[in-house]
A and B are shown apart, each in its own frame.
Chain A
């Protein structure tokens, strides 16, 4: 029997990998988007796990919504990226420092 804490550890691990992907990655902005997706999936995992163990399917329904929103978000994110590339001819994270003070 797999316990709740195992699921939570898995989710935390996924979240950590996603965060690390955002922080450590210096090259490609697509990786950042993927990392964000990964973090969302970690959250979804938590929802599913709790929903299963609490015998309550609200969490599962919630996951559907999150997936939908994530899909839309990915579409918008990619669109922004295309526009960004048109303007600055790069999608390298290290070069995108216009916020610098």
Chain B
């Protein structure tokens, strides 16, 4: 039984890789149709296998299995294995990844239909699926890191998919570089695990954490920090870059230069949640460091609120959703920080569905308008695209946490958990997520109304050409709309409040942090929870958000311009994204360039080229010039030297003998 699940997991990982290789290497030969058929078939099979694994592990309660395939590196006492861990957490994750990936594969057929890089795109998407599956199925930190870097690389490739567009290239570089910053933290955390636990295997590492909790290490002379806190914060820095938390969030809005299916798959549903997954996976570590948890809570709360506010001033429909993703990732981070890991994964799950849905629906609008993304040039599209309209509405309602849509359950739990938590910083985070509950519907319904309602701002010629997208696009939308509506209500009970809950022993929570247990006492059941929503404050915040959005965009569009002129300073700060980009551009990028210039001019040209390379050449020339004087070419000089040498040697020999 055990082998059998592990073999299935291996297939789940390998199938997308095969699809990617076939599409990438043979794509031109077998043509477009065969390419998409093969990759979709392979990902589809992987999805079915994932369903089976999920059923076995989560529903039927099969115990956790892990399997070793290959001994990658053995170095002294350290051993790095290619090994798979299938527990409740990873089984849930592979289900999400393969499902969204399948939907995006299908969607891509039409979205990329007239793109010359069709096969390349499918190859990348399948390769991404492979890396993401490695990431979630890994049994040790090194393999996790392999998947981590794999998804980062493909994210880079796909953001820069249209590599002849300058913003795309800039965006892809930005994503790559910001992620390297986070990787520094991750690699240092891995080094710390090796140093203190002598292993990278999850189980071995986590079983030693309780022993390490009182250990301190000296960072600098006189500065001692707790080992567990250092590990946790380093690990979270890695997660911050991948999951786009302030201040390493700057790459995610730029990533919208990539094709829309990618934004849905990578930059909303799966890759950006890898950081959340990683922290949840490492919950036995984070639990022992209240400092790290507070750090996560504060960062998460800041991201949730302030990135949401930025979405209000964006005019590009994809960027609105991108900032919304940032904000939702902040929610998940808050849930992690208050030790409600299950709630974070729960929100990850529902968010994956409704955010992928929003992106794909936005993509449907974008192709209908021939790659127009500016909302100021949309408006009044509802009658032309009824299904896109409805699915976008579903996504928006789910995002706004309106019962009974899935987002309501997951977000409400996070707000409640933040309220109950006693971790330092939780009060701030609670404030942030509560205000965020108002901001979220405000920005998403602003986008919704601007796109689908009100006066049409399309050019006249285009107005008649706009039509609903094809079924290939609509099927994934509908497939995602269903879980966006029902997943929350269906899963909240089994996932969070049943014992054992959906994630079971994959997650470790210290009893004093266990806010979900407190919540479980009051949990009335999914149905009643939705019914009782009108009694909660956050519900009315969400409703008022929608109403305000309606007022500002549909009823009185003049209001928003009035506000803009009235609060010009605030508006400018928001448009400048709080200056993060400018700061990076001015200080970090220019600083790095100047450092590079200095190193080029001094270290490279003077020291290396001048002294080391040319210097050694010059030294040899000088030595040769001196020593060539000895080579006079006159026979008698050589004879003299020979004789003198002989005399000296003989003399030495004789004197030594005497």
Contacts and interface: CB of A to CB of B under 8 A. Distances in A.
B537 interface: no
Contacts of B635: 22, 32, 93, 96, 99
A99 B631 CA distance: 7
Nearest to B631: A101
A96 to B, nearest CB: 7
B634 A93 contact: yes
Contact of A99 (B627, B633, B640): B633
A19 interface: yes
Nearest to A26: B636
Contacts of A99: 631, 633, 635
A97 B632 contact: yes
Contacts of B640: 23
A98 B627 CA distance: 17
A11 B344 CA distance: 107
A94 B639 CA distance: 14
Contacts of B634: 93-94, 96-97
A100 B633 contact: yes
Contacts of B576: none
B633 A23 contact: no
A22 B636 CA distance: 6
A23 B634 CA distance: 10
A101 B632 CA distance: 7
A90 interface: no
Interface residues of B, number: 12
> Which of the four size classes fits the interface of chain A?
10 to 19
Nearest to A24: B636
A51 interface: no
Nearest to B630: A101
Contacts of A93: 634-636
Contacts of B535: none
Nearest to A94: B634
B585 interface: no
B632 A25 contact: no
Interface string B601-634: 0000000000000000000000000011011111
Contacts of A100: 631-633
Nearest to B625: A101
B633 A19 contact: no
B643 interface: yes
| Most chain A beta-carbon neighbours within 10 Å: one of B636, B640, B643 | B636
B639 A23 contact: yes
Interface string A1-38: 00000000000000000010011111000001000000
Interface in A31-48: 32
Contacts of B632: 97, 100
Contacts of B631: 99-101
A82 to B, nearest CB: 18
Nearest to B644: A23
A26 B611 CA distance: 45
A4 B264 CA distance: 110
Nearest to A16: B643
A50 B630 CA distance: 39
B628 A101 contact: yes
A99 B633 CA distance: 4
A19 B628 contact: no
B255 to A, nearest CB: 66
Contacts of B633: 96-101
| Most chain B beta-carbon neighbours within 10 Å: one of A93, A100, A101 | A101
Nearest to B643: A19
A93 B630 CA distance: 17
24 contacts: A19-B639, A22-B635, A22-B636, A22-B639, A23-B643, A24-B636, A25-B636, A26-B636, A32-B636, A93-B634, A93-B635, A96-B633, A96-B635, A97-B632, A97-B633, A97-B634, A98-B633, A99-B631, A99-B633, A99-B635, A100-B631, A100-B633, A101-B630, A101-B633
Given A97-B632, A99-B635, A100-B631, 4 more contacts: A19-B643, A22-B639, A97-B634, A100-B633
Interface of B: 627-628, 630-636, 639-640, 643
Interface of A: 19, 22-26, 32, 93-94, 96-101
Closest 4 CB pairs of A and B: A100-B633, A101-B631, A97-B633, A101-B628
